[in-house]
Structure formats: structure tokens, C-alpha cells
Amino acid sequence: MLKSKKNNIAEYILYLWQMEDYLRAFPEQAEATPELHDLNQMMHREGIAESGHLQLANNALNELEELHAQLLNEDALYRAAIIRLQPSLNLLKAKTDRPTMTDIEACFILLYQIMLLRLQKRDITPETAAVQQQATQLLQFLSKTYRDIDISK
């Protein structure tokens, strides 16, 4: 069953990214469940069968980007958290082919790459684990704020 965006938007995005990779690696599984079938069909319709992300994931990421911008202006603690994380995010961005990506997208890429390393049973450095914890806390806060705003509507 497709994860609910309302309950935890960060998990929702990571789940979609994982399902995209799964369907690319195992295309024969596209018919295993109705959900995989639907996601596979969306990927083909959107032209991302080889690479890229579903519009569902991109839209959710954009919603978090908007919330991020709002919180930067309104919440001093949030602003301090992103400032602490900035050097690590800048280093990560510099190592990609898209150094101008947003901070929030960089957080997701960091967490997704760490998840892949763990699935491969590879170690991560203590420094990377510390950055992971900061990025996780930031996305948890964004997700909770997103959920709370949605509930209050």
C-alpha cells in the first residue's frame, strides 16, 4: 500500500524513490502487486523509467521546500539547525552533478544514499552518522510541521 503523504511526507518521498529504484532493478516485478503496477505505469508515462523521480515525489519535495522557506523566515531554532547542517550539505552538493540543488533535496539524497549503503551492509563513518542524525532531525521536524499544518486546515 502506498504510504500516506499526510502521515510522514519525508518517509513518503523516500519510499517513492525506493520503489522507483526497485522497479528499475526488477522490472519483472512490476505486475507483482497493483501498487507496483500503478507506479510502473506512472514512471513510463512520465518518461522516468530509466532515471528521475515521479511527479508525486517531486510535488511532495516542492511542498517541503515551501515549508522550509517559510520556517527559515519564522523560526530561529529551525534556521540555526539548517545553518549547522550547511557545511555538510555544501560538501555533498559539491560532489554531485547538481551543485545548485536545494538544501532539502540534499538532505533527502544524503539519507537515501546512506540507506543504500546500509542495505549493502557497508559501514558509514562517525562523521557521516552525525550528519545523518542532523538531516533526519531536520526532516522529522519538517514532516511533523507539515502534518500539523495539514491537520489544522
Convert the pLDDT of each residue in 89-105 to its tens digit: 999 999 999 999 999 99
Shortest CA distance to 20 belongs to which of 8, 5, 2? 2
3 assigned to some structural domain? no
107 assigned to some structural domain? yes
CB 14 within 8 A of CB 148: no
Cα dihedral across residues 123, 125, 128, 132: positive or negative: positive
Rounded CA-CA distance 7/153 in Å is 15
46 assigned to some structural domain? yes
- Half-sphere exposure of residue 145: CA atoms within 13 angstroms, side-chain side: 19
C-alpha 47 chain-centroid distance: 20
69 assigned to some structural domain? yes
Q: Give the residue-averaged pLDDT of 12-22.
A: 96
Percentage, residues of the chain above pLDDT 70: 96
pLDDT for 153 equals: 53
Rounded CA-CA distance 39/33 in Å is 10
CA angle 109, 84, 95 (to 5 degrees): 35
Give the residue with greater pLDDT, 35 vs 150.
35
pLDDT above 60 (res 23): yes
CB 103 within 8 A of CB 86: yes
79 assigned to some structural domain? yes
Residue 124 has what DSSP assignment?
A: -
pLDDT for 151 equals: 63
pLDDT for 6 equals: 83
Percentage, residues of the chain above pLDDT 90: 90
pLDDT above 90 (res 152): no
Shortest CA distance to 143 belongs to which of 61, 54, 59, 52? 61
124 assigned to some structural domain? yes
Number of domains within the chain:
1
Grid coordinates given for 88: 555538510
pLDDT for 5 equals: 87
pLDDT for 3 equals: 64
4 assigned to some structural domain? no
What pLDDT, in 10s, does the model give residues 29-87? 999 999 999 999 999 999 999 999 999 999 999 999 999 999 999 999 999 999 999 99
For cell 507539515, the residue is: 146
Mean pLDDT of the chain: 93
pLDDT for 64 equals: 96
For 85-89, the CB contacts below 8 A with 24+ separation are 85/131, 85/134, 85/135, 85/138, 88/131, 88/134
Q: Which range of residues forms the domain containing residue 56?
A: 9-152
pLDDT above 80 (res 2): no
